[in-house]
C-alpha cells in the first residue's frame, strides 16, 4: 500500500510539473520562433555597417524585431498625417481595381481590424440561446441595434456576435431582444480565452456571494418520452 501511495504522489508531482512547465515552454518556443523568423526576414535588409551583429563575436537575437517595431512606428506616424491618409486612400483605390488582389486585401484587412479592435468593438459578454432553445452560447455585445431591424421589432434589440471555436474571427451576427440576454460579469478578454480554448480555460466567478444565488438561466425542461400506445391483439 505504501508503494501504491508513493507512486500516486510521484504521478501527481509529475502531472503538476507538466502543468507548470508546459505553458512556459510553449510560450518561450513560439516567442523565440517569432523573433527568429522576423530576424531572418529583416536582417538581410539592414546594411552590414549598421548591423550590430557585424561587429560582435556573437549574434544578438531581436535586432530585426527592433527594426520592424521602429519601422511600424514611422509608418503609423506617417499614415496618421493628412498626407499619409491621402496616400492610403490612393493605394486602396488602386488595389480595389485588381480583381483577385482586392479580395485578398479586403479579407485580410477585415480580419486584422477585427482582431486588433475586438476589445473596443465588444462591450459586454452575454449568454444567448443559440441555435435553439435551451442551448446556450457565449456572445459579445457589439452595440444597440438601429435602423430598419429595430423599427420592425417591438422589443429593444441588441447586436450580439457569436464567435466560432477556436478561431473567433468568424462567427454569427445575432439580433437578440435585450430581455432574452443573460449578461455575464467576465471581461471580454476572459470570454475570448474561453472561446479560443473550447471551454477548457474557464474564468472564475468574480460576482459577490449574494449575486451568485440569483439564477438568470432557467433550468431545462424535462423531455417527455413518447412511447408506443397500448398494444391491441385484435380481440377488443
For residue 30, the model assigns a pLDDT of: 85
pLDDT, tens only, 216-231? 666 666 655 445 555 5
DSSP for 23-44, please give it.
Answer: HHHHHHHHHHHHHHHHHHHHGG
CATH number of 119-206: 3.30.70, 3.20.20, 2.30.30, 3.40.50?
2.30.30
Dist CA 113 CA 131 (whole Å) = 27
For residue 12, the model assigns a pLDDT of: 81
DSSP for 96-116, please give it.
Answer: TTSHHHHHHHHHHHHHHHHHH
For residue 165, the model assigns a pLDDT of: 87
pLDDT, tens only, 12-35? 888 888 888 888 888 888 888 888
Q: Judge if the upstream peptide bond of residue 204 is cis by omega within 30 degrees of 0.
A: no
Q: What stretch(es) of the chain map to CATH 2.30.30?
A: 119-206
- Tens of pLDDT, residue by residue, the chain (236 residues): 566 677 878 888 888 888 888 888 888 888 888 888 988 888 888 888 888 888 888 888 888 888 899 998 998 888 888 888 888 888 888 888 888 888 888 877 776 766 665 555 788 999 999 988 889 999 999 888 989 999 999 899 999 999 998 888 789 999 999 999 999 989 988 998 888 888 888 888 888 877 777 666 666 666 554 455 555 555 54
For residue 197, the model assigns a pLDDT of: 84
Dist CA 215 CA 189 (whole Å) = 24
- Ranges of beta strands (E only) in 134-186 are 136-144, 157-163, 171-177, 182-183
For residue 120, the model assigns a pLDDT of: 59
Q: Are 113 and 172 in contact (CB under 8 A)?
A: no
Characterise 211 by phi-psi region: left (phi > 0), alpha (psi -120 to 50), beta (else): alpha
Amino acid at each position: 500500500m505504501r508503494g501504491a501511495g508513493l507512486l500516486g504522489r510521484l504521478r501527481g508531482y509529475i502531472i503538476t510539473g507538466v502543468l507548470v512547465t508546459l505553458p512556459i515552454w510553449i510560450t518561450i518556443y513560439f516567442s523565440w520562433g517569432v523573433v527568429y523568423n522576423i530576424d531572418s526576414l529583416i536582417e538581410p535588409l539592414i546594411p552590414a555597417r549598421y548591423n550590430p551583429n557585424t561587429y560582435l563575436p556573437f549574434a544578438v537575437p531581436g535586432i530585426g524585431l527592433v527594426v520592424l517595431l521602429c519601422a511600424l512606428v514611422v509608418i503609423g506616424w506617417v499614415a496618421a498625417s493628412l498626407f499619409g491618409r491621402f496616400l492610403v486612400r490612393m493605394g486602396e483605390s488602386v488595389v480595389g481595381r485588381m480583381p483577385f488582389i482586392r479580395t485578398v486585401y479586403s479579407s485580410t484587412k477585415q480580419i486584422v481590424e477585427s482582431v486588433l479592435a475586438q476589445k473596443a468593438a465588444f462591450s459586454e459578454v452575454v449568454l444567448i440561446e443559440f441555435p435553439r432553445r435551451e442551448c446556450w452560447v457565449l456572445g459579445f455585445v457589439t452595440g444597440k441595434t438601429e435602423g430598419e431591424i429595430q423599427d420592425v421589432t417591438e422589443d429593444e434589440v441588441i447586436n450580439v456576435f457569436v464567435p466560432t471555436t477556436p478561431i473567433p474571427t468568424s462567427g454569427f451576427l445575432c439580433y437578440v431582444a435585450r430581455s432574452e440576454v443573460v449578461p455575464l460579469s467576465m471581461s471580454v478578454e476572459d470570454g475570448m480565452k474561453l472561446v479560443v480554448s473550447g471551454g477548457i480555460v474557464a474564468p472564475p466567478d468574480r460576482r459577490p456571494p449574494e449575486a451568485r444565488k440569483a439564477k438568470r438561466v432557467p433550468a431545462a425542461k424535462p423531455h417527455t418520452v413518447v412511447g408506443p400506445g397500448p398494444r391491441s391483439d385484435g380481440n377488443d
